[in-house]
A and B are shown apart, each in its own frame.
Chain A
Amino acid sequence: MLSGSRQLLQKRQFFHSHRSQPMALEQVFSDRDSEDEVDDDIADFEDRRMLDDFVDVTKDEKQIMHMWNSFVRKQRVLADGHVPWACEAFSRLHGQQLVQNTALLWGWRFFMIKLWNHSLLDGRTMNTCNIILQGFQDGSSGPK
């Protein structure tokens, strides 16, 4: 940051936008803006609440929807081109949980099919995801 900018910023007292408390100088200078962050807990809660409102969706479908919504939000999946990466990462991240619940696993598979319908997901990536899931399945059903 330019020294000129630093000087200018020092002249004025800034405040935290969420607490209206005075902001310390080093926080002003830092690049990170802690206030421009969506409160994850609230967003998660509101997401669950929104999904709960639907009556014709099963519990597992809601669960997979919530997991996906949460993932998209946190990982900033914003554009079509992100989706293949997102599916792969999602499969890796939640693989363990998915293979433990058959309905959930199928929910995820069907959702991937849907993405494929929309041309958001290619066949190759879908295959990769299934291989990842298979890996979890084999891993968990290993020597008990």
Chain B
Amino acid sequence: MASLSKTSDSSLQRSKRLDQGMGREAATASVVAIHSKLAQLKREIQSGRLAYIKEKVEANRKVLQRHTCALFDAAAAAEVASRGTEGCNVLSQRAAEGQSRLMGSDLDRNGMGEREVVYAQEENLSAGTLVLSSSGCATQKTVVKFVKLPLVDRIPPYTTWIFLDKNQRMAEDQSVFGRRRIYYDQDGNEALVWSDSDDEIPEPEEEKHLFTEGEDQLIWKATQEYGLSQEVVNILCQFVDATPSEIEERSKIIFEKNEKRSGSPDRIESQLPLDKTIDIVLDSFDNLFCRRCLIEKQPYGFELDKNKRPCGDQCYLRDMAPRTRICRRRGRNRKLKYTWKSAGHPTVRKSLGDGKRWYTQYTPCGCQQMCGKDCPCVENGTCCEKYCGRGDGSLGEPPARGDGYQCGNMKLLLKQQQRILLGRSDIAGWGAFIKNPVHKHDYLGEYTGELISHKEADRRGKIYDLENSSFLFDLNDQYVLDAYRKGDKLKFANHSYSPNCYAKVMLVAGDHRVGIYANEHIEASEELFYDYRYGPDQTPAWAKKLEGSKKDVVPVSHRRARKVAR
């Protein structure tokens, strides 16, 4: 038995070996075949592309010719029209006239004879004149008076910015991480690239190969004829500058694409969602609708789901007196409360009168009528967006700005702000000025800007400090406002230790926003100042209190470190 099996085994093995041998040969033969086939294909594709390019260039040339001819003809016609009676160009004619006027018409009078015309210039700075004289048969003098250009003061450095009427979260591609930043060095009078030893510029990602049409064709044809084996992929690597895995992926994508194309062409892309349940249909809307802003947008981030309930004894809500001051305590994750509805919660339908069921610290006022003095929101200092007194719903239009709507909580929401003007600061650089006189505690406006993380703010702050101009404003544990690129005119308000305004972080419909208020009665056209409240270790040099000086208004163009409201 054993011997039999051995022989059968060995014969099996032999035949296997033979097969393998043949297989290998066949394999190498096919590799060569594939290779040559692909090379041929590549040539075909390239020549095809060449022909296409030639066609395109020719077509473009014709179009271009049409355009330029039209322009050329127009110009030529205009020139002909403008030629004077002498048939020469009006411009050169006038130029010649001007010159001859200056130099007198001796030239003509003298005829073709010798022309010894001497031209002299005599500057008389005190009289502000320049005398041009020429000698000839009749000396002529022309007195040209200097015109004094008025001296204009240079304006302070100005960087263009975008107006935001409300804080805007920074988009991912706006971050300074991984970007080379250039700043202007006043001392060396040059622009420099900012670099830092502990700079973490991330390594540029391995470039993903973008497949051209020609390469797609190549891959498609190859895989159609020879399948998607490792060999084919390896050979393709030689033709297409991509990794084997990329090629494999790509071939799958191409495969799917072709499948789809061969599918029913008259399938309607956007089917009427009548056959789905309402939940599925509303799914898109659900995920993107922001309940507070009433628009479809990217929600603030899903980490907020965790913080929907008062998180315990130490929660913000409990130990904070009903004020909206944001205390800076370390080590606590004081996330904002949001009324953001997550996908997990059932949609809540309750009539307006009940007040809605909020899950977090914010309790809306249950005011039935206008929010008056006894509205709990007023006590808490929060702004409710429940628009009081709108029971009947029969509006002509939402109340326009400044219509005198009196709900004290609504100023920030409705943007009922004062007119601010930009001017040269009496102290340094630009300043913000108020147009109309205001009383103490009047709301002047909101300091808007980009919402950035603290990490991002630290990074941006480094350059801002170098330039001695920072628009960073600490908002809360999560965000910092940066008004450098986007914001409003209040960003120009300067710092002072005895200011006429103050900044206050307000909680408006779940958002932290910075309001600027008058600290005293302010006259029209006065410059606005508020205390930036730098921490002792953050105070830039210009803001440090001068020894023995009573007046603490210090020179500042813009801020360093971050401003904070108390």
**Interface residues, chain A, with chain B CB atoms under 8 Å away:** 1-2, 4-5, 8-9, 11-18, 20, 23, 28, 31, 33, 35-39, 42, 50-51, 53-54, 56-61, 65, 68-69, 72-73, 75-86, 89, 102-103, 106, 110-111, 113-114, 116-120, 122, 125
Across the interface, B162 reaches (CB within 8 A) one of A33, A39, A60, namely A39
Are B401 and A65 in contact (CB-based, < 8 A)? Answer: no
Q: Which residues of B contact A31 (CB under 8 A)?
A: 419
A-B contact count (CB 8 A): 167
Q: Which residues of B contact A23 (CB under 8 A)?
A: 421
Q: Which residues of B contact A39 (CB under 8 A)?
A: 162-163
Interface residues in B, total, Cβ within 8 A:
66
A4 touching B524 in the complex, CB below 8 Å, given contacts A9-B435, A85-B393: yes
Are B435 and A79 in contact (CB-based, < 8 A)? Answer: no
Q: Is B347 an interface residue (CB 8 A)?
A: yes
Give the residues from 317 to 363 in chain B that come closer than 8 angstroms, CB to CB, to chain A: 341, 347-352, 356
Are A78 and B398 in contact (CB-based, < 8 A)? Answer: yes
**Interface residues, chain B, with chain A CB atoms under 8 Å away:** 155, 158, 160-165, 269-270, 272-274, 278, 281-282, 284-286, 288-289, 291, 293-298, 341, 347-352, 356, 385-388, 390, 393, 395-398, 401, 410, 413-414, 419, 421-424, 433, 435-437, 488-489, 492, 523-526
Output the least CB separation between B490 and chain A (Å): 10
Q: Which residues of A contact B423 (CB under 8 A)?
A: 12-15
Are B270 and A69 in contact (CB-based, < 8 A)? Answer: no
Q: Give Cα A72 to B165, complex, Å.
A: 14
Output the least CB separation between B174 and chain A (Å): 11
Are B288 and A11 in contact (CB-based, < 8 A)? Answer: no
Could you give 27 example pairs across A and B, Cβ below 8 Å?
Answer: A2-B524, A5-B436, A12-B433, A14-B422, A15-B424, A23-B421, A28-B421, A35-B489, A39-B163, A51-B296, A53-B298, A57-B284, A65-B296, A73-B295, A77-B294, A78-B294, A79-B385, A80-B385, A80-B387, A81-B387, A81-B388, A81-B393, A85-B397, A118-B348, A118-B349, A119-B348, A119-B356
Which A residue sits closest to B286, measured CB to CB? A114
Query: Considering the complex of A and B, which 8 residue pairs feature the smallest CB-CB distances, nearest first?
Result: A81-B387, A81-B390, A5-B524, A65-B296, A79-B387, A8-B525, A117-B347, A17-B422
A15 touching B401 in the complex, CB below 8 Å, given contacts A54-B288, A85-B395, A119-B351: no
Q: Which residues of A contact B289 (CB under 8 A)?
A: 114
Are B413 and A79 in contact (CB-based, < 8 A)? Answer: yes
Are A119 and B489 in contact (CB-based, < 8 A)? Answer: no
Output the least CB separation between A6 and chain B (Å): 8
Which B residue sits closest to A38, measured CB to CB? B165
Which A residue sits closest to B285, measured CB to CB? A114
Across the interface, A83 reaches (CB within 8 A) one of B294, B356, B410, namely B294
Q: Which residues of B contact A1 (CB under 8 A)?
A: 436
